[in-house]
Structure 1
Amino acid sequence: MDMLQQVIDKFKLNVLMIEDVPQSFSSSVYKIQLNDYRIVYIKIPYSKAKLELEFTVLKRFHYELPVPEILDYWEGNENVTGALLLSAIKGVPIREQVGTNLAYDIGVHHAILHSIVPNEQDYKSVVSNVYGQWSEFIRSHFYSFAEDVKEVIDPRLYEQSLKHFDRQLNLLPSPDGPSFIHMDFRPGNILVHENQVAGIIDFESVRIGATEMDFTKINRDIFMRYPGTRDSYQKGYESIRPLIDLQEVLPFYRFIDAFNSIGWCKRRGIEKHQTFLQENLAYLNRFLRIWDS
C-alpha cells in the first residue's frame, strides 16, 4: 500500500475508495473512486519494460480500438517501477457464458487489432518485432518454460512434449503477418457491456508477429467451451480481414499453451494455481496420447 500511496500522491488524486482488481497477473491494478465519484484505474506493472510497452501501445491504439485512455503517466523512481492512470471503460470482463452474438463481436474487434498495420515508427519503438524470426521466437518461448515444466511433469511426458514440438514446428504454414498481436487475448481482457465488446485491456505483452498465436486463449476459453462460438467469431473476424485456417494451426498452439501454462504455474506457485495446473496437465496427457496413437 505504501507503493500505491506514492502513486496516488504523484497523480494528486483525492481518493474516496480503493479496490484491488483481481486476475491481473503481471501488474498491480487498482480501481479508484475519486471524491467527485469518478472512477479511474491505477496500473503498476512489475517492470519498467512492461510500463513503457503498455504506455506506447495504448497511445498507438487510442484511435483504432476501444482501449483505456491514458490520463497520466509516471516513470517511477528507485522504489516504484512507475504507473499509469487510466480512464474507466463502461464494461466488465467476460465471466459468464459467451453466446454467438458476442463471439461475432469479439471476432470483429480481434480482426481490427490484427488489421492495424505496423508503420516505420512502430518498428523503432519498444514493441518487439518477432515476425521475421517467427519460428525462432516460438522455439525460444517454448523452451523458456521447459526447465520449469521439467520439474513438474513425468519425464516421459516431458520428452514426448519436446519431440512433438520439434517435429510439428517445422510443419507450420507461413506465418500470417506482420501484425500487432495481443499475446493474452482472453475473456479477462475483453470488457463487455450489453453483450457487446466495450473495450480491450492489458497490452503488456504486445508484439509485432504472426496472428496465429493470438487465437490460442480464446480457443481454450471460448471456442472449446461454448458450442457455435467459433463459427460466429470467424464470421465477425472475416467481416474485417481474412482468417487463417485455424484448424491447421490451433492444435499445435493449444499444445504449446498447455505446456507453457504448466511452466507458468511452476513460476507463480503450484499450490496457488493448482486447478489451472491440473487442467493443463490433463490436456497435455490427453493430447499426446491421442496424437501418438
Structure 2
Amino acid sequence: MSPLLKLAALICFVVVAQAGLSFPFPGQLSIPNTFPQLSACISESSFFSCENTTTISNTCCSPTPGGLVLQTQFWDTFTGLEKKGQLLPKNSWTIHGLWPDNCDGSFEQYCDLSRQFDPTPSPAILPDGTVVPPYTGPGVDTFIKAFGRDDLLEFMNNYWVSQGSPNANFWGHEFSKHATCTSTFDVACYGPHYRKHQDVVDFFDAVVRAYHQYPTFNMLATAGITPSNTTTYTLSQLQNAIKAQTGSIPFFGCTTNGTILSEVWYFSHVHGTEQFGSYKTVDSTTKSSCGATGIRYLERTHTSEREVR
C-alpha cells in the first residue's frame, strides 16, 4: 500500500473511531442500528393507539399520551435559500413532521429540554411559563453523519426542505418540539446500550417511513388536481381525492384568507410503535383553514425546484 493510501486509511479509522463506529471486518464500515429495544413489547397487549381500553403499562410499546399521530406535509413554492442550493423536490410535497397529538386533539411540546436542539424555539415560552432556551450546538445533520447515515441525510435534504432557514435547523425544531413528547422515542426505550443521539436519528427514520405512506402530489394528481396558477379547486375535491386513497379526510391548510393551499396533515392511530407500527388513518380532528371554494394550488417557481428521482 502506498504511503498516501496508508494515510487515507488511518484518517478514515480515526474518524470512525471518534464517531463510535466499528469495522465488522477489514475494509467495510459498520453502520450501527438506531432502533429501540422492544423485546419487552412482545408480551404486551396489542392495540391501536387511542383505542386501548386499559392503561398502557409500557409506554415504549405504544405512543402515549400522544397516540393521535399526524404526518404533516408542506406545499411551498419557494425556499428563500435557492442561492445556497436549498431547492424543493419536483412533483412532490415536502415533509413537515410527525406529531404526537393527544387522543382528544390537544398536544404537548418541548417535553424534554435535555434533548432541545432547536435554534429558534417556537414557542420560546411554554404555557406553564417554562423558557425553552435556543440551541447553539452543532446541527442535527452532524448527528446523522456520526451514525454513518448518508442515505438518510440525502433523502432529508431532498424531501424535508425548510423555507427561510437551513434544513438542519428545521429538523432540530421538529425533533425537539414533537419527538420529545412521543413516548416511543424516550431515551429509556433504547436500553442500557443507548448511544447519544440514537433517538434523534431513529425519529428521522420514522418520519421518512411515515411520509412514504402519503404521496400527496400523486394522490391529488390521479384525481386531476395539479398545481396551476389559473385553476381553482373546492375543499371537497381535495378531501375526496385523498379519502379515496386513504379512507379518511385529512386536514388541509390554506393561507391568504383560506385561498392558497399550503399544507396537509394526515391523522392516524398506530398499532405498535411510531417507528415500526401500522398506521390506520382517521378523519382530521382539526377543521380545515381553507375556504369551501376558490382554493389555489399554485405552481412553484421553476428556479426553486429540482428533479430528485
Relative contact order (alpha carbons < 8 A, sep ≥ 6): 1 or 2 greater? 2
Larger helix proportion of the pair: 1
> The TM-score by the shorter chain falls in which range?
under 0.3
Structure showing greater Rg: 2
